[in-house]
Structure 1
Amino acid sequence: MAPCSLMTASVSLLAKSFSVFSCTSTLARCTGVLPAAYFNTVKCFTTQIKPPPKRPLNGYMRYYLQQKSLVMQQNPESKSVDIVRKIAHQWRMLSPEQKQPFQEASLKANEQFKLDIERYKAQLTPAQLQQQALEKRQRMTKRKAIRRKKELTNLGKPKRPRSAFNIFMSEHFQEASGATLPAKMKSLMDDWKNLFSHQKQIYTQLAEDDKIRYKNEMKAWEDHMVEIGREDLLRDKTRAAKKKLATKSRATKKIVKKAKPAKEAAAKGKSKTTAKTKKISSVKTVPQGSTKKT
Structure 2
Amino acid sequence: MSLFAQLHRLNNLVIGGYRTVLHGRASRGNWLNLNQSFSYTTRKSAEERLGIEKPKRPLTPFFKFMTQMRPALLAKNPGITSKEAIAWSSKHWQELDAETKSQMTKEYEKDLEDYKKIKKIYDASLTDEQKQEIKRVKEVMTAAREKRKLKAEYKELGRPKKPMSSYFLFMQMKKDALKGNNIKEFQEKVKQEWLKLTENERTKYEKQAQELMNKYKKDLEAWELKMVAKGRSDLVRAKPIAEKRIKSTKKAQ
Matched residue of 1:52: which SS?
coil
Contact 1:64-1:87 at 8 Å conserved across structures: no
Aligned residues: 198
Give the deviation of 1:70 after TM superposition. Answer: 4.2
Per-residue Cα deviation, 1:100-131 (whole angstroms, up to 9, x for no partner): 76666555544443332221121122222222
Partner of 1:153: 155
Query: Does 2:226 correspond to 1:224?
Result: yes
- Note closer, same or farther for the CA distance 1:133–1:171 as it changes in structure 2 (3 Å cut): same
1:66-81 equivalences under 5 Å are 66-73=68-75, 75-81=76-82
Q: Determine which of 25, 50, 53 is the counterpart of 1:51.
A: 53
Opposite residue 81 of structure 1, the aligned amino acid is: S
Per-residue Cα deviation, 1:46-100 (whole angstroms, up to 9, x for no partner): xx96411123323442231133234335x435334364243255279669x7977
TM-score (norm 1): 0.56
Instruction: Return the alpha-carbon distance in structure 1 between the equivalents of residues 178 and 79 of structure 2.
Output: 42
Contact 2:57-2:112 at 8 Å conserved across structures: yes
Instruction: Return the alpha-carbon distance in structure 2 between the equivalents of residues 106 and 172 of structure 1.
Output: 59
Contact 1:169-1:188 at 8 Å conserved across structures: yes
- Note closer, same or farther for the CA distance 1:138–1:107 as it changes in structure 2 (3 Å cut): farther
Opposite residue 131 of structure 1, the aligned amino acid is: E
Give the deviation of 1:181 after TM superposition. Answer: 1.8
Instruction: Return the alpha-carbon distance in structure 1 between the equivalents of residues 246 and 178 of structure 2.
Output: 52
1:28-47 equivalences under 5 Å are none
Give the structure with the larger helix fraction: 1
Opposite residue 79 of structure 2, the aligned amino acid is: S
- Note closer, same or farther for the CA distance 1:129–1:184 as it changes in structure 2 (3 Å cut): same
1:163-242 equivalences under 5 Å are 163-175=165-177, 179-235=181-237, 237=238, 239-242=239-242
- Note closer, same or farther for the CA distance 1:100–1:162 as it changes in structure 2 (3 Å cut): farther
Opposite residue 76 of structure 1, the aligned amino acid is: N
Give the deviation of 1:183 after TM superposition. Answer: 1.9
Matched residue of 2:176: which SS?
coil
Opposite residue 212 of structure 2, the aligned amino acid is: D
Per-residue Cα deviation, 1:20-70 (whole angstroms, up to 9, x for no partner): xxxxxxxxxxxxxxxxxxxxxxxxxxxx96411123323442231133234
Determine what percentage of the aligned residue pairs are the same residue. 23
CA RMSD of aligned residues (A): 3.5
Instruction: Return the alpha-carbon distance in structure 2 between the equivalents of residues 156 and 85 of structure 1.
Output: 31
Per-residue Cα deviation, 1:231-271 (whole angstroms, up to 9, x for no partner): 21111x2x1314666999xxxxxxxxxxxxxxxxxxxxxxx
The more displaced of 174-183 and 202-211 is 174-183
Contact 1:176-1:187 at 8 Å conserved across structures: no
Matched residue of 1:160: which SS?
coil
- Note closer, same or farther for the CA distance 1:72–1:180 as it changes in structure 2 (3 Å cut): closer
Query: Does 2:123 correspond to 1:115?
Result: no
- Structure of larger gyration radius: 1
Query: Does 2:91 correspond to 1:90?
Result: yes
Opposite residue 90 of structure 1, the aligned amino acid is: K
Q: Which runs of 5+ in 1 are unaligned?
A: 1-47, 249-294
Instruction: Return the alpha-carbon distance in structure 2 between the equivalents of residues 80 and 89 of structure 1.
Output: 14
Instruction: Return the alpha-carbon distance in structure 2 between the equivalents of residues 101 and 144 of structure 1.
Output: 40
- Note closer, same or farther for the CA distance 1:148–1:112 as it changes in structure 2 (3 Å cut): farther
Instruction: Return the alpha-carbon distance in structure 1 between the equivalents of residues 92 and 56 of structure 2.
Output: 24
Instruction: Return the alpha-carbon distance in structure 2 between the equivalents of residues 247 and 185 of structure 1.
Output: 48
- Note closer, same or farther for the CA distance 1:112–1:233 as it changes in structure 2 (3 Å cut): farther
Q: Which runs of 5+ in 2 are unaligned?
A: 1-49, 249-253
TM-score (norm 2): 0.63
- Note closer, same or farther for the CA distance 1:177–1:188 as it changes in structure 2 (3 Å cut): farther
